[in-house]
Amino acid sequence: AEEMDELGGQINAYTSKEYTCYHFRTLDKHFDKALNVLSDMFLNSKFDQNDILKERGVITEEINMYYDDPEERVHDMLQENIWKNSPLAHPILGTEKTISNFDNNVIKNYFKTHYTNEKIVISVVGNFETKEMLQKLENVFGSRKIEKIENLNSFCKPVYNRALCFEEKDTEQLHLSLAFPAYKREDEMKYPYTVLNTIFGGGMSSILFQKVREENGLSYTIFSAPSAYENVGSFIIYTALNPFQTESVCRIIKECINEVKNNKISETLLNKTKTQLISSFIIGGESTLNRMTSNGVNTLMLGYAKEPEEIIKDAEKVTAESVKAVAEKIFDFEQISVSACGNIKNLDLKNICDIFEKE
């Protein structure tokens, strides 16, 4: 931490459901020093047992923090139930039970068996000479020898399960999350799906935001978001609201769903949305962190990094018909899952489900 602070750089890491990323950002003239710090951490960590015991407490407190947060809890409950009996059901942080069982031998063994060379992608974005950069990386990582282990992950393919899950917490608000089974990460309908999400609930001009918040003033926060993995995906709608307004909000959400299912969007709205998405993508690509992450994840998951021109071209091909087809496929009320957390004392849970199930 001190060495990176001295360089004015940033170093961090994060874990998703499918991969872990260790990254730094620094001025080009400080790259060699920053690479030395990150590679030393990655290749030569001691995993000292005393350090692990201390970190257990830190992570346990982080788990407790998220458990106490109904906005986080409502999503974790939903994931746990719709992907039950698969790794996607597990929280990224783990549980107090799993954390308490970790020691340095467990972690060293995990590192040895999972962080093998063929599973690691190095992504570099910024001001450098390619040949020189490749040589630097080869000097640092090229001699690393880790035995390849075959058939390590024999996980079953996740399957969407319809779920209803509720948890009471002492809060003023109710946090509500709805889910439908949807597309995997690289489905051929990926871009119409992205356009649909933007139109339906992806921003302040979306149908969902305008109907629920702007026209009726029933919720401060409401949005939709796709959640896509290698083989499966889900479409999530989230809102936080006064529990006495829940039935009204659910009816409006259903009206919004039926609007995009039953009506083809106009060419004007379609073109505006595609322009919005493409512009956002281009602007986001100007961030070295975003470009580094995108290139790395695509290479890790797909085997190659997509060129921006390829993505833009595919997005421009989206038609109103394809967006409507996506809406018709995703929004199947017989497959809807409901997760609620917070003030549910006076909530008629059966009636909430009936709103979506009955015509």
111-142 pLDDT, tens digit each: 988 888 888 999 999 999 999 999 999 999 98
27-47 b/e with 16+ CB inside 10 Å = b? eeeebeebbebbbeebeeeee
Read off the pLDDT band of 153 (50, 70, 90).
low
Q: What is the mean pLDDT of the chain?
A: 92
Q: Which ranges of 167-243 would DSSP assign to H, the alpha helix?
A: 190-201, 207-209
Nearest to 121 by CA among 297, 330, 291, 358: 297
At 310, list the tokens.
């390829």
First and final C-alpha spacing in the chain: 58
Using alpha carbons, select from 204, 192, 190, 189 the residue that is nearest to residue 270: 192
Which range (29-33, 37-41, 90-94, 152-156) has the least confidence?
152-156
Q: Is residue 157 classed as helix, strand or coil in its secondary structure?
A: coil
pLDDT at position 150, please?
63
DSSP letter for each residue of 79-135: HHHHTTTSGGGS-TT--HHHHHT--HHHHHHHHHHHS-GGG------SS--HHHHHH
Interatomic CA distance for residues 29 and 47, integer angstroms:
31
pLDDT band (50, 70, 90) for residue 147:
low
